[in-house]
């Protein structure tokens, strides 16, 4: 970890200077070419024990200089994985081989026999309406080599970062979790984007760039299942809303799952990853830099638009609310905070 010194001891001070060098310095760390390239003005690198939260500024993370600190939680296995992966290349420590959490292993027990030959998966996503929240559901069908259905399953999903693609990935993940070790299956899906991303994030060797993608926790969990269960998987595209009876049945099951009770398990219960950042007890399954920036923007925006801010200056009747709304509407990103309602409702 690079060492930064606060400019002052004030509680609200968020300005830091790189340490010029002190007893914490570990020369072996500072000589790493990658670190020297990214932090060429810092001369002190030291080991630090992580308990729950670590907030630190970097030269390219401007969010810490502009917004209040964001509280995140991490795990020791995540810090260990980074250290082994990037600071000590002499130790072969692949990311996926680190100890993984045990939560959620029994949510989808292995029920499919080794004779399983193919899986039909489908996800379903419904947008929020005036009467309901957004919801996700998924389903899968397992077939043997003769085309007989061995098992089927459908379930509603935690509505955390809901999207159509996310429901499709969930369907594949839950289908894989039900397979027996050593299975070789073909997964049929009508989602072309899923197949394209599978080629980038699963078939290809692991790359840290994956950690900057949306749904990276689900992709890492799929990689873990393939490796841990020795699964051999091939994805094929089937036309959506075609005459394929199995794909139509998977779609029907996924649609019907929206009517079932919301899941009682945590969104984190299905993940098998060494890195699990959370915010308000929910997993952050997106680019962490984008997340911090969006949270900072939202907090500043809500603080600026709060009625208390205006009434502290005078009674509400003295303000030209239409003029204020017009000025705010010229700000890029203003519409992103209206929760689907007309922008003026933000007041």
| 110 contact partners, CB below 8 Å, separation of at least 6 | 177, 178, 179, 180, 181
User: 106 in a domain, yes or no?
Assistant: no
* Mean pLDDT in residue range 93-115: 51
- Containing domain of residue 67, as a range? 4-95
Same domain, 178 and 298: no
pLDDT computed for residue 10 by the predictor = 53
pLDDT computed for residue 16 by the predictor = 53
Cα gap 188→122, rounded to integer Å: 9
Cα gap 68→13, rounded to integer Å: 10
Q: What is the pLDDT of residues 143-170, one digit of tens each?
A: 999 889 999 999 899 888 889 999 999 9
* Total count of domains within the chain: 3
Residue written as tokens 């009517």? 259
Could you tell me where the beta strands, DSSP code E, fall in 221-341?
A: 232-237, 278-279, 282-283
Q: Is the pLDDT of residue 188 over 80?
A: yes
Which residues on adjacent β-strands are paired with residue 173? none
Cα gap 246→151, rounded to integer Å: 12
Lowest mean pLDDT segment, chosen from 244-253, 266-275, 334-343:
334-343
Q: Is the pLDDT of residue 17 over 70?
A: no
Which residues on adjacent β-strands are paired with residue 3? none
pLDDT computed for residue 110 by the predictor = 55
* Mean pLDDT in residue range 336-345: 46
Q: What is the pLDDT of residues 292-318, one digit of tens each?
A: 888 777 777 777 777 777 778 888 888
Same domain, 333 and 257: no
Same domain, 177 and 256: yes
Which pTM was predicted?
0.61
User: 70 in a domain, yes or no?
Assistant: yes
User: 81 in a domain, yes or no?
Assistant: yes
Same domain, 164 and 231: yes
Same domain, 132 and 209: yes
276, 302, 329 - which closes a domain? 276
pLDDT bin (cut points 50, 70, 90) of residue 117 is very high
Same domain, 193 and 250: yes
Sheet of 232-237: strand order equals 149-157, 135-143, 118-126, 184-189, 232-237
């Amino acid at each position: 970890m690079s060492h930064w010194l606060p400019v002052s001891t004030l509680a609200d001070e968020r300005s830091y200077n790189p340490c010029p060098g002190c007893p914490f310095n570990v020369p072996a760390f500072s000589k790493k070419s990658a670190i020297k390239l990214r932090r060429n003005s810092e001369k002190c690198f030291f080991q630090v024990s992580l308990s729950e939260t670590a907030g630190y500024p970097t030269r390219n993370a401007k969010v810490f200089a502009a917004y209040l600190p964001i509280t995140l939680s991490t795990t020791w296995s995540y810090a260990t994985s980074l250290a082994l992966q990037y600071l000590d290349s002499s130790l072969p420590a692949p990311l996926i081989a680190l100890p993984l959490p045990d939560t959620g292993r029994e949510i989808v027990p292995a029920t499919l026999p080794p004779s399983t030959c193919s899986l039909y998966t489908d996800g379903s996503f419904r947008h929020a309406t005036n009467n309901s929240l957004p919801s996700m559901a998924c389903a899968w069908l397992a077939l043997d080599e003769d085309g007989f259905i061995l098992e089927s399953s459908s379930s509603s999903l935690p509505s955390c970062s809901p999207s159509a693609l996310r429901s499709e990935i969930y369907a594949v993940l839950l289908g894989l979790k039900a397979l027996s070790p050593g299975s070789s299956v073909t997964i049929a899906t009508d989602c072309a984007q899923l197949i394209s991303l599978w080629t980038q994030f699963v078939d290809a060797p692991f790359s840290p760039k994956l950690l900057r993608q949306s749904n990276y926790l689900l992709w890492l969990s799929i990689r873990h299942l393939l490796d841990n269960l020795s699964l051999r998987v091939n994805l094929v595209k089937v036309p959506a809303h075609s005459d394929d009876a199995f794909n139509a049945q998977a779609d029907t099951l996924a649609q019907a799952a929206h009517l079932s009770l919301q899941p009682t398990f945590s969104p984190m219960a299905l993940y098998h990853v060494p890195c699990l950042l959370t915010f308000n007890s929910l997993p952050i399954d997106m680019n962490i830099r984008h997340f911090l920036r969006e949270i900072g923007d939202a907090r500043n925006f809500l603080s600026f638009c709060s009625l208390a801010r205006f009434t502290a200056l005078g009674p509400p009747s003295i303000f030209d609310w239409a003029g204020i709304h017009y000025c705010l509407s010229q700000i890029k990103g203003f519409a992103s905070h209206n929760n689907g309602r007309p922008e003026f409702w933000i007041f």
